[in-house]
Amino acid sequence: MSKLMLMTMLGTLLGSAALFGQDSSSAGMQLSEDVVLRLFGRTRETVFTELLRVGRSEQPEFLEVFYAYAEEKMPVAQMRNLLLRTYNEKFQALDEPMLQNLTKNILKNDREFVDLQTRYYRRMIKVIGANRAAMFFQLDNYLDQSERLYLQTGLPFIRELETGRRIAATRLQPPGH
């Protein structure tokens, strides 16, 4: 039940058009912070330090790695958002070579992101141990996937799938529901 409530809250948050009323460079960061604040009622830094139970003695080194990771992640995430937005906004006008190039760039961006996480996983292990480093990236990936889901639900192909899924679900309901 709590999972359903969490997803409902996330859907409500991500459905808000006001989140993307900013330029693309600040919108991604604002979306990330808004997701964290709405879901957890705390800043991203606080969520990570509390959920990972980072002790006072570990905190300075943890935050140093945390902020370095966030800084390096920002341009990769912004590029991902730009690529997905480009696809969404120009979907009807894209020919096959352009779509192929765009898809290759999205895949390249995903590899860059995994490489970044791999580098920082090694650093996190040294600071907070393997167990909590794994938890760090589990939480980071959860938040990242939530943001990606929001962006992808606006893509034309995904909208078609969702519409078809809703129609099929309606047809499967017994009469009177």
Q: Which of the pair, 16 or 155, is modelled with greater confidence?
A: 155
Distance separating alpha carbons of residues 75 and 88, to the nearest angstrom: 20
174's tokens: 């017994």
Distance separating alpha carbons of residues 168 and 136, to the nearest angstrom: 38
Distance separating alpha carbons of residues 4 and 22, to the nearest angstrom: 29
Share of the chain above pLDDT 90, in %: 38
131's tokens: 């167990």
Mean pLDDT is lowest, of 32-36, 40-44, 156-160, for 156-160
Query: What digits encode the pLDDT tens for the residues 99-137?
Result: 889 889 999 999 999 999 999 999 999 999 999 999 999
CA-based torsion, 38, 42, 43, 48: positive or negative: negative
Determine the average pLDDT of the residues in 161-171. Answer: 60
Distance separating alpha carbons of residues 62 and 55, to the nearest angstrom: 9
Indicate whether this model's pTM tops 0.75: no
